[in-house]
Amino acid sequence: MNLARRMESFAESATMEVAGRIAQLNAQGKNVISFAAGEPDFDTPDFIKEAAIKAIRDGLNKYTPVAGNDAIKTAIIEFTKKTLGVEYQKNEVIASLGAKHSLYNISQALFDEWDEVIIFSPYWVSYPNQVLLAGAKPVFVNCPAANGFNPDIEDLKAKITSATKAIIINSPCNPTGAVFSAETIRKIAEIAVNDDVYLISDEIYDAIVYEGARPLSPVTLGDDVKRRTVLVNGFSKTFSMTGWRMGYALGPAPLVAAMTKLQGQSTSNPVTPMQFASVAALKDLSFLAPRVEEFRKRRDAMVAAFNALEGVACVNPAGAFYAFPDFSGWIGKSIDGEAIKDSVHLTNLLIDKAGVGPVPGVAFGAENFLRFSYALSMAQIEEGIQRLRAFAAKLS
């Protein structure tokens, strides 16, 4: 097959690959507890399902305007005003088929070949690949675990060049669960203004935070920052609607117009009944607090268990539903006579010998770390912890 050259410029989604492999092993009768899920284990709330069913029954099944109908744009604008206190106009909003699609549209509409895009590392797997697919160059800025996975601002300053087009922020962060401090966000915004750089703020986990952690959105920092920022959010994580494919972006009208033009030649509008269901979703978040509380309990159990394992250290994540422990102390040790080489090797050994399936940190740019999602039941988490302890006991 003579495929287009651009297909070699980027990689397949590593998280989806690992989750798929674990599912396949379980289908073959193996018993692997998957900590690889990138989605809530909770189901979509009933009132949202009902709204979708009603829309379908009411015959709301035709095309809408490419960027979404008036109802969803209005609902997103009102929701953003309520949660962030920031106002947007209808020509500054576009609904897409998931936040990933919004981010793809942004990268295609904004990045030229040779542009540099700053990505904080550890990073969500799709950022570098979407940047590469646009022909641009990802430039990584490290967020050390010792710094609570907040970026080293001096490193950020050093990496800004005349070719820097944008900085991607993801707070709360997948994979670390870190919420960037207000000071960090302010400093990044100041750099963006001074160096004339755009900000892409992926706030998909903003509603899943613990102990009053308040992720600061750069769009709240005044017009100078807001007019160079595109805010991305979606329904997948907050509303347990991953399969429904609904996300959105809010930003400068010319960028939204370009994204709409691109979407008009690729997917057209997001699925019409889902737009109506999403309008209903944005009006009632009362279901969410007990779910976040359940996530918090699981997080506490996992983080405590990791920190009790010799050679493992885990920063307490303030948001999202991932723990990102450092397994450096296990690299170089042996299990059943086999020396552990790196995070991919450790993941494979954990899957095969312990029946525990995380995602290797190298997929997120952080060798020797593993990502454990806690979007699974407390019973499964406890069983997984037992299995990890048994594995640890065999290390030499």
Ligand X SMILES: *Cc1c(COP(=O)(O)O)cnc(C)c1O
Give the binding site for ligand X (CB under 6 A): 38, 98-100, 124, 170, 174, 202, 204, 234, 236-237, 242, 247
Q: Which of 48, 95, 383 lies closest to 267 in space, CA to CA?
A: 95
As measured in angstroms, the least distance from the Cβ of 12 to ligand X is 16
Asked whether the beta carbons of 228 and 194 are under 8 A apart, the reply is: no
Complex with ligand X: residue 238 or 340, whichever CB lies closer: 238
Asked whether the beta carbons of 226 and 331 are under 8 A apart, the reply is: no
Asked whether the beta carbons of 254 and 92 are under 8 A apart, the reply is: no
Complex with ligand X: residue 322 or 330, whichever CB lies closer: 322
Complex with ligand X: residue 103 or 354, whichever CB lies closer: 103
As measured in angstroms, the least distance from the Cβ of 96 to ligand X is 8
Complex with ligand X: residue 99 or 189, whichever CB lies closer: 99
Q: Please give the angle made by the CA atoms of 322, 270 and 20, to the nearest 5 degrees.
A: 40
Complex with ligand X: residue 141 or 309, whichever CB lies closer: 141
As measured in angstroms, the least distance from the Cβ of 174 to ligand X is 4
Per the omega criterion (within 30 degrees of 0), is the bond before 122 cis? yes
Q: Write the DSSP assignment of 56-118 as a string of letters.
A: HHTT--S---TT--HHHHHHHHHHHHHHH-----GGGEEEESSHHHHHHHHHHHHPPTT-EEE
As measured in angstroms, the least distance from the Cβ of 103 to ligand X is 6
Complex with ligand X: residue 80 or 305, whichever CB lies closer: 80
Strands 338-339 and 334-335: antiparallel
**Which residue is at the shortest CB distance from ligand X?**
98
As measured in angstroms, the least distance from the Cβ of 205 to ligand X is 7
As measured in angstroms, the least distance from the Cβ of 41 to ligand X is 14
